[in-house]
Structure 1
């Protein structure tokens, strides 16, 4: 595996929170907008999910979320910041890596929100590296668990990871954002096939279904 050292969760998580808040600032009615990457959700549902996960992780780290449950998106964002501030402190005390799945989930949904609002993905983001590491580990387990030859994952920027065990039998190359969305179940089988593969991609396509992720039947965003 070759990649930069991931940013600690207590640094990455605040950037996701501020990013989501900035995306929704001044967007009247955005709370009712559908989120194509999460077909059953509106923007309000997405934000509610982020808050729910933060509450659960805070409780797991010994904290107590505020008793009052927010309803509107502005209330949810304020609640998320309140819980997040305490989470940041607890994650720092725990060594900075214990919230990595939460950060991955939150960053993935920030990208979902950007797509729903027609906003380009960020050029740089503190949550990208730690989130990508989580996705690579999950995908790697899927490759190995299915008895598939290992696969080299390569970004067009030159970063590389090996998914599975042993010497890679093939390489798939894509821009960093596309590779991230592929590993996070946001690219259809047709879109996965269209990535730059050094061998026929068929054997590895089932491995993109793992954990909570499954490629959508039609083109994802």
Structure 2
């Protein structure tokens, strides 16, 4: 698992590269983030970085002059924060840093789907981000007093919930990740690789900031 500062650096680079290689109107909607445009998404990432620098350093939030800036300007601002933020993530990141990695990686995927760009074959942020969304789902399974589920991805297995798993959920890494991160409908989730009927576990896919959409915002990568 890559350190948080390395994973976050890659996310900044990836988002910047995506915008350059897949030019699109700044007001292009991002389907997986209702009411957000490409500019809104990038502005969110910059704002989270500024807020995090303030929280982790104990200083005032980084001054921002992004009002009215185009996407390119926002990305320049994000890049300027990068070195300072990496240092803080390396020394003071902890769980907060892991959540930042998850947020940046999830929104990078949101952007990829919106721009029609391919999903990355490998990404330094994936493992850290997956750990966060898996833990969130696992806590919700336990909170609903549901039996544990075995999550199987790429030949690896994780338990979600407490006790001996009574069902297995398997599938493409991005189908599983996007389901745990509130980007797939309940109907899409039921079409994944379940070893038994999945409906009793569907409420656990709503947790923290994530709620499955009522209508598909993106297609499944594979269908079991």
TM-score (norm 2): 0.92
* Structural mapping, 1:132-211, within 5 Å: 132-155=130-153, 157-211=154-208
Q: How far apart are 1:55 and its partner, in Å?
A: 0.8
Write the distance in 2 (CA, Å) between the matches of 1:121 and 1:141: 28
Number of the residue aligned with 1:106: 104
Q: Report the CA distance between 1:67 and its aligned residue.
A: 4.1
1:3 corresponding residue in structure 2: none
Of 68-77 and 188-197, deviating more is 68-77
- CA shift digits 1:113-169 (9 cap, x unpaired): 0000011110000000000000011000100011100111111x2111111111101
Residue ranges of structure 1 left out of the alignment (5+ in a row): 1-5
Write the distance in 2 (CA, Å) between the matches of 1:123 and 1:212.
26
163-172 vs 64-73, greater mean Cα deviation: 64-73
* Residue 83 of structure 1 pairs with residue 78 of structure 2: no
Partner residue in 2 for 1:42: 37
The Cα offsets for residues 72-97 of structure 1, whole Å up to 9 and x where unpaired, read as: 11111011111122110111122665
For residue 53 of structure 1, what is the aligned residue in structure 2?
48
Indicate the residue corresponding to 2:12 in structure 1. Answer: 17
Separation in 2 of the partners of 1:94 and 1:27?
A: 34
Please tell me the root mean square deviation across aligned C-alpha atoms, in Å: 1.4
Structure 2 residues not aligned, in runs of 5+: 219-224
- Residue pair 1:8, 1:97 contacting (<8 A) in 2 also: no
Q: Check conservation: 1:10, 1:96, Cα contact below 8 A.
A: no
Matches within 5 A, 1:118-133: 118-133=116-131
Distance in 2, matches of 1:105 and 1:208, equals: 17
Quote the residue 2:222 is aligned against: none
